[in-house]
Amino acid sequence: MSLDRATRNLLLSVVVPAFNEAGTVEMALRRVRAVPLRVEIIVVNDASTDGTREVLEKLSQDGLIDRVIHHDINRGKGAAVRSGIAAATGDAVVVQDADLEYDPADLPALVGPIGAGNADAVYGSRFQGGPHRVLYFWHYVGNRLLTLLSNMFTNLNLTDLETCYKLVRRDLLQRLPLSSNRFGFEVEITARLAQARARIWEMPISYSGRTYAEGKKITWRDGFAALFHILRYNLLVPRNARDWRLPEK
């Protein structure tokens, strides 16, 4: 695809949380490095026990990774993402799961609205017509219900709350008071972006979901936890909101 000059010059920090992904992380990182963008790759190893640490150290020595961060104990995906966000230096930040469910080839299109100055955040939606692997009906229903409930609190009209692909301007993202350690991160960042008055775009992406036999980690327990997080992060706004809220436009 053809990219405008502003988008070509933008540096995208790609944060990759990894927990026991030794079998897929190298391929995921090579796909990220292959996109026609300037990228900074930051991988956070969340105390993996399957050899992921050794794989990442080798890839770092080979120059595929710009920075590797190791957690000594498993702290959860949200904590890993927050470690990566703190280390990011790019113009925008996105999370890339290491399990090959999301295709980095979608990133150039997603970064376009930020590169053009039209958006503060861009969500890649799995439900706007992009190609996707057909999998679990109840996961789909659960995601749509969580998205609807979140939208009722945020007054947004998102179609995919739980998408991994959320590109956000780094200067804004690093000011947001994020605290979630696990899968509540997706709910929290959406609530904080809405409270910050961020301009949010949504664009279709492809999706190749994994089965549980292939290593999928999200369960129904995470869905119930998300209900609690929607209430928590939307009803309890930090008192210092004026420090990170954008001017109303």
Per-residue pLDDT tens over the stretch 55-78: 999 999 999 999 999 999 999 999
pLDDT class of 139 with cuts at 50, 70, 90 = confident
CATH 3.40.30.10 fits 5-238, yes or no: no
* Count of C-beta atoms within a 10 Å radius of residue 130: 15
- Each domain of the chain, given as residue ranges in start order, spans 5-238
* pLDDT bucket at 149, cuts 50 / 70 / 90: very high
DSSP state of 246: P
**Mean pLDDT along residues 96-122:** 95
Q: Which residues contact 248 (CB under 8 A, 6 or more apart)?
A: 197
| Lowest-pLDDT range of 109-118, 135-144, 185-194 | 135-144
Burial (CB count <10 Å: 0-12, 13-18, 19+), residue 240: exposed
Residue 137 pLDDT level (bands cut at 50, 70, 90):
confident
From residue 58, alpha-carbon distances to 53, 66, 143, 226 in Å are 9, 12, 37, 36
